[in-house]
């Protein structure tokens, strides 16, 4: 029996506390190195035992077990082994997240966030949800769902990562569900940059589905104001310009501030750019006076990468449709440099 196999025997719920604590500290130390993680993942029962320790009555033991699982799941090389059926790691995490009385819902979200960065992990998690993504959207949208103080912000990253799968985008964009309508309200969520950033990632991925642009811009979802409000500042417009803007963007007031994070501003601009892939999207954005919000943003924006995306977007909006000449820019041959710009934004795992 190897030392690691011997170690795994001490990682059980019924093991004496002092012995279990020492074994867990050694295990946690091993998760900090590549060699250590590979040693652990190749030892039967280690991951399964760590999952069981999440229910340990001693909270310090349960927390250390969760840290070990976070470290293991962050190593993409060993994710396939982590997802092996014998570990049941995904099912364990989903059960913890669903339990409003569990102390470790936030670490469980982090583990799933790590696992879903890979296509295999996303497919496994979505499969384990058994077609009931609504349940987890519902949990995410209830800010006080967890009674032990877990905020579940990393559940946003899980949902965002899952949205890179076509099947998940189809689910979210199904008009008979209310998934997207509930999630778009977090684009301007002030209390967590990870929550609003991840949900914007999900929205951006959905914007690649050109067949759904009319739904995204319809009153049912009302996506455009949700994307423009974080980009709008305190600037005042004349009455004519104001009247053309969506109601939510009229008379924002001198205290209005823009999204402070440059990466999130870039995602907002990229989502708007994707909506311009269709003639319907372009004409809708023009009709809602999107240009004036982008014009003022251009005066304010200092980030060079964002300025490139912004100028590309403005260039599309100020052109006449007869100059563009196509309903859907994704269905025509376009110059290589434009293809590269769109491909750089594609959802990818």
Q: Is the pLDDT of residue 348 over 90?
A: no
Among 110-124, 190-204, 311-325, 330-344, the least confident range = 330-344
Distance of CA 222 to the CA centre of its chain: 20
R_g of the chain computed on alpha carbons: 23
pLDDT at 336: 64
Per-residue pLDDT, averaged over 304-317, amounts to 95
pLDDT in tens, 99-129: 999 999 999 999 999 999 999 999 999 999 9
In this structure, what is the dihedral angle of CA atoms 232, 236, 239, 242, given to the nearest 10 degrees? Answer: 10
Collect all residues with Cβ–Cβ distance below 8 Å to 39 and sequence separation of at least 6: 4, 30
d(C-alpha 290, C-alpha 286), whole Å = 6
**Structure token pair of residue 241:** 């310009």
pLDDT at 327: 59
Average pLDDT value over all residues in the chain: 92
DSSP helix/strand/coil, 252: coil
How does residue 325 score in pLDDT terms, banded at 50, 70 and 90?
low
Angle between helices 119-128 and 89-98 (to 10 degrees): 60
pLDDT at 123: 96
């Amino acid at each position: 029996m190897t030392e690691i196999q011997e170690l795994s025997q001490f990682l059980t719920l019924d093991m004496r506390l002092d012995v279990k604590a020492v074994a867990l500290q050694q295990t946690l130390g091993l998760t900090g190195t590549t060699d250590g993680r590979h040693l652990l993942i190749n030892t039967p029962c280690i991951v399964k035992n760590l999952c069981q320790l999440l229910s340990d009555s001693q909270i310090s033991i349960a927390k250390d077990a969760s840290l070990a699982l976070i470290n293991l799941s962050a190593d993409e090389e060993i994710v396939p082994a982590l997802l092996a059926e014998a570990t049941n790691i995904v099912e364990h995490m989903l059960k913890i997240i669903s339990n409003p009385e569990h102390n470790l819902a936030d670490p469980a979200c982090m583990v799933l966030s790590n696992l879903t960065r890979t296509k295999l992990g996303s497919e496994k998690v979505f499969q384990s949800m058994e077609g009931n993504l609504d349940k987890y959207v519902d949990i995410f949208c209830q800010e006080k769902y967890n009674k032990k103080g877990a905020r579940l912000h990393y559940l946003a990253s899980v949902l965002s990562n899952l949205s890179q799968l076509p099947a998940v985008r189809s689910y979210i964009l199904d008009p008979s569900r209310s998934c997207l309508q509930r999630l778009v309200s977090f684009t301007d969520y002030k209390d967590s940059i990870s929550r609003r950033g991840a949900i914007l990632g999900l929205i951006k991925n959905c914007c690649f589905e050109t067949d759904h642009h009319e739904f995204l811009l319809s009153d049912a979802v009302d996506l455009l104001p949700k994307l423009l409000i974080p980009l709008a500042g305190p600037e005042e417009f004349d009455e004519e310009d104001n009247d053309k803007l969506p109601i939510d963007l009229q008379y924002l007031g001198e205290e209005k501030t823009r999204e402070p994070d440059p990466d999130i501003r870039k995602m907002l601009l990229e989502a708007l750019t994707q909506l311009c892939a269709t003639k319907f999207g372009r004409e809708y954005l023009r009709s809602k006076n999107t240009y004036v919000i982008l014009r003022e943003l251009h005066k304010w924006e200092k980030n060079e990468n964002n300025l490139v995306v912004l100028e590309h977007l403005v260039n599309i909006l100020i052109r006449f449709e007869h100059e563009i000449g196509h309903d859907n820019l994704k269905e025509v041959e376009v110059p290589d440099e434009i293809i590269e710009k769109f491909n750089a934004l594609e959802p990818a795992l």
